[in-house]
Structure 1
Amino acid sequence: MSTDTTLTQPRTDGRPAKRRGYWSLWATVPREFAFLILTMPIAILALVVLASAFFTGLGLIAIVVGIFIVVASLYVARGFGSLELVRLEWAGRPGIARPVWERSDRNQGFWRTMWAPFIDGHYWLYLLHGMIINPIVSVISWSITVAWTSVALGGTTAWIWYRTIPDGRNDTDFWLHDVVIDFLFPGNTWNIDPLLGETIFEFVVGIIFLATLPFVFRGLTLLHDVIARGTLSAWRSEALEREVAQLSASRGAAVQAEDASLRRLERDIHDGPQQRLVRLQMDLATIERKLERDPEHARELLGEARDQARETLDELRALSRGFAPPILQDRGLAVGLQSLATRSPVPVTVEVDLPSDASVPASIERNAYFVVAELLTNAAKHAEARGIRLVASTRDAGAAGHWLDVWVTDNGRGGATAEPGHGLAGLADRVQGLRGMFVVDSPVGGPTTIGAHIPYTPVAASAPPPPSIE
């Protein structure tokens, strides 16, 4: 099986996301608690390691060896930062885009790799995060986590263990519940058992802290997440740079695919219609010479010339279908695919669910038509198939945009691969040139399933022409 691109585009059913309630927050409390309780030990370890390595390297930089130590500290900072991103994902936070560390322009020898951290700002941000930001923030979040958890658990269980504590108080000591009651109800003369009052008060406080525990853990985890997104994530400029590179590669693939198509058209015209036209010219010259001396033979040659002209015209029409088929321009992609299926020598089952409002751009329809025509031809010539299934549809993938999906499945012998220089590789280049995906699933023995998935921007339906005034 050969798969060019794995289909991973998201799907959506159009329904709004279900809001998460209070009790659903408790599902992530264990992971968030584990994240927060381990944050300070990891941050302190990072501070000790990074500060020791970095400042030792700075102190020895005059004897060159310090440069290597500083570089090592930057790589260690990268490791601690990557660990923080992994821990955030484990705690339930959405993934953060990582910087692209290994780039093609950096793989140029040892010294190029050696100096890469000095010129890459991400390494210094990771060092800043591991050596300064995270230790400070982790002390605060860890302290709040321990204090909030202790009050929540201690208060709610105080009624169990409170009476086991030796009472060393005297009459001059004060009780917290007395302070709160006097503040809420000034001038009261209530006589409450101190032990009972203190137990109830601590139980109420514990319940409050326990009820707010998910919000506190979520807030502290979000604090670390926001800091990580600001210092450890990839920059937007890098995403734009990658997109420009992908667009350039896609444009190059499209140009190569078109160039290959033009060369194939030139070869097909040279080997087919051109040879027939040469033969037709020779027949016409022979007819001209024998028209008066041997009219019967000339009449036979005229019939052959007529057949040659008809076959040449049919072949030219067949070649033109790969570029601008008239039925596609006049009646749309759905009818064009039905026409391809009708002309196939192998029976084709067609399942087409395409919009009738011409919302798919003409260029996308033309490329999809060409891909299907090539796939049907390959299935008929090489697959030894007894039947073919053609499925074409569009879908709205939400944030991923609109997609045109085309699947061709045959029950032939299988083993198809998109090797360079072969037809499927050219189709893959064509589809990838449109920023689409080309999928080949063809185990030996069949069946063969090939899919082309092409993104497109819907075209607004044109307004009908105004009525003519007679």
Structure 2
Amino acid sequence: MTLERTDAPPRRRPGYGALWASVPREFAFLILTMPIAILGLVVLATTFFTGLGLIFIVFGIFIVVASLFIARGFGTLELVRLRWAGRPEVRRPAWDHADRNQGFWRTMFAPFIDGHYWLYLLHGMVINPIVSVVTWSITVAWTSVALAGTTGWIWQRYIPDGDGRDFWLHDVVLDFLVPGNTFDFDPQVGETVFEIILGVLFLLMLPFVFRGLTVLHDLIARGVLGAWRSEALEREVQYLSASRGAAVQAEDTSLRRLERDIHDGPQQRLVRLQMDLAAIERKLDGDPDSARTLLFEARDQAREALDELRALSRGFAPPILQDRGLAAGLESLASRSPVPVTREVEVPTDAALPAVIERNAYFIAAELLTNAAKHAGATGIRLRVSTRDTGESGHWLDLWVIDNGRGGAAPAPGHGLAGLEERVNGLRGMLVIDSPVGGPTTIGAHIPYVPLAASAD
């Protein structure tokens, strides 16, 4: 489940200068809207109704399907144009369905059962042409009044007046605003001043008008061309199911590996220790010198078994991780590495990492350091851990392990990196591997998390 942050700063409304900065893009969007909408109407109406008329001879079905795909293209173009005009991106429908793209005929007739295609067709044939005529007309009229009013005093003097004018717009406005006035001034000057005032007012309001018309298209696109909330929920459920399966698989792999390591290591040594103790017991009275030699060997077996158990116990969360946090746990982990580790642990004390994130980050770091020491032939390792707040994408923990070994690391099935990849995927993160032959090897685990304070809210 995706948790929304409650401490996100409120969005600031754009200032007047910012509105003017977006005027060129919004004007280009609005002025091209009607030509594109009319072109879409002509193409879609022609193909759709032609296919509908020929549907009784079967061939028309393919023309109808073609019109639906064309409608999808015009709708996608509208979303791209809105994004270019500065509007927030509209989440698009999931066109590719794994259960529908099986064979030619299922792919061909998929639009008939996908409601988004019909909504795109409705947008291209009805909604967009009607709305575009209105917004395009307002755009042209408003821009014309703003430009003509503010520049008319320059070029109107060069236009022949013919037989003169009997109608002055400024007189009508003054009579409306000030009934019975007796103002007496040159009508040409009055008309010029009125046009300048009107042009300046329209020019000052121009950014708000363009923004409002663009937002109108954006709202329509979000309602008709955007993805449905049910689709987002369905994808979330599928992703969570896949993540849960990956986490279970990773945990099963880890348990099997731990079982194998215990069987091949400490268990064999403890069996050997038991046999040595039995032999010591038999020889203790008759051959004390031989018993003493076996006793020394038994002591070595016990020490080695203890060392192996300590090494295996690092796969569990150590007490230092619970008591002092991830930074201290990674410092302790790096200090025990047989290969020198350069540590760059930049996890703030107020990061409020959940326990499951700390535990998994510790396991991932331990596995990567072990792989670099055992298999990479590295002489130096760099461990870098940091957190970042990306705003809308939430908080992330970034863990990098870089070694100067032989390279060539890849997540082969059944091996350590594949298990790490499953573990990271189960946490809804991503594992990045860059390991060319000859080295160096760079492996990064990026894990999202919700701070404890936010999750508690």
TM-score by length of 2: 0.92
Structure 1: gaps (5+ residues): 1-12, 462-470
What is the deviation of 1:297?
Answer: 0.6
What is the deviation of 1:52?
Answer: 1.9
- Give the one of 424, 445, 449 matched to 1:431: 424
Alignment map for 1:261-300 (pairs within 5 Å): 261-300=254-293
Q: Deviations over 1:329-368 (max 9, x none)?
A: 4443333212211211112222334355793232222211
Take 1:149 and 1:357, find their aligned partners in 2: how far apart are those partners?
Answer: 54
1:344 paired with 2:316, answer no
Q: Does the C-alpha gap of structure 1 residues 382 and 192 become closer, same or farther in structure 2, counting only changes over 3 Å?
A: same
Q: Does the C-alpha gap of structure 1 residues 415 and 97 become closer, same or farther in structure 2, counting only changes over 3 Å?
A: same
1:167 paired with 2:152, answer no
1:38 paired with 2:24, answer no
1:51 corresponding residue in structure 2: 45
2:85 alignment partner AA: A
Q: Deviations over 1:102-124 (max 9, x none)?
A: 11111111221122111100001
Q: Does the C-alpha gap of structure 1 residues 422 and 124 become closer, same or farther in structure 2, counting only changes over 3 Å?
A: same
- Give the one of 173, 196, 200 matched to 2:193: 200
2:336 alignment partner AA: R
CA contact (8 A) 1:333 1:369 kept: yes
Take 2:25 and 2:334, find their aligned partners in 1: how far apart are those partners?
Answer: 56
Of stretches 57-66 and 407-416 in structure 1, the one that deviates more from structure 2 is 407-416
Q: Does the C-alpha gap of structure 1 residues 358 and 62 become closer, same or farther in structure 2, counting only changes over 3 Å?
A: closer
Q: Deviations over 1:359-399 (max 9, x none)?
A: 32322222111111111112222333332222223344433
Question: Which SS does the other structure have where 2:262 is aligned?
Answer: helix
What is the deviation of 1:257?
Answer: 1.0
Alignment map for 1:405-416 (pairs within 5 Å): 405-416=398-409
Take 2:11 and 2:74, find their aligned partners in 1: how far apart are those partners?
Answer: 34
Q: How many residue pairs get matched?
A: 448
Alignment map for 1:325-344 (pairs within 5 Å): 325-344=318-337
1:72 corresponding residue in structure 2: 66
1:241 corresponding residue in structure 2: 234
2:148 alignment partner AA: G
RMSD (Å) for aligned C-alpha atoms: 2.3
2:97 corresponding residue in structure 1: 103
Take 2:170 and 2:387, find their aligned partners in 1: how far apart are those partners?
Answer: 68
TM-score by length of 1: 0.89
Of stretches 283-292 and 145-154 in structure 1, the one that deviates more from structure 2 is 283-292
What is the deviation of 1:18?
Answer: 5.8
Q: Deviations over 1:128-158 (max 9, x none)?
A: 1000000100110111111111111111121
1:144 paired with 2:143, answer no
1:7 corresponding residue in structure 2: none
What is the deviation of 1:74?
Answer: 0.9
What is the deviation of 1:320?
Answer: 2.0
Structure 2: gaps (5+ residues): 1-6
Q: Deviations over 1:168-208 (max 9, x none)?
A: 3457x221111122223333333222222222211221111
Question: Which SS does the other structure have where 2:22 is aligned?
Answer: helix
Take 1:351 and 1:37, find their aligned partners in 2: how far apart are those partners?
Answer: 54
What is the deviation of 1:404?
Answer: 2.7
What is the deviation of 1:318?
Answer: 1.4
Which of 1 and 2 has higher RCO (CA within 8 Å, sep 6+)? Answer: 1
Question: Which SS does the other structure have where 1:392 is aligned?
Answer: strand
Alignment map for 1:83-122 (pairs within 5 Å): 83-122=77-116
Q: Does the C-alpha gap of structure 1 residues 215 and 329 become closer, same or farther in structure 2, counting only changes over 3 Å?
A: closer
Question: Which SS does the other structure have where 2:342 is aligned?
Answer: strand
2:173 corresponding residue in structure 1: 180
Q: Does the C-alpha gap of structure 1 residues 291 and 356 become closer, same or farther in structure 2, counting only changes over 3 Å?
A: same
Question: Which SS does the other structure have where 1:105 is aligned?
Answer: coil
- Give the one of 52, 56, 60 matched to 2:54: 60
Take 2:69 and 2:377, find their aligned partners in 1: how far apart are those partners?
Answer: 56
What is the deviation of 1:307?
Answer: 1.6
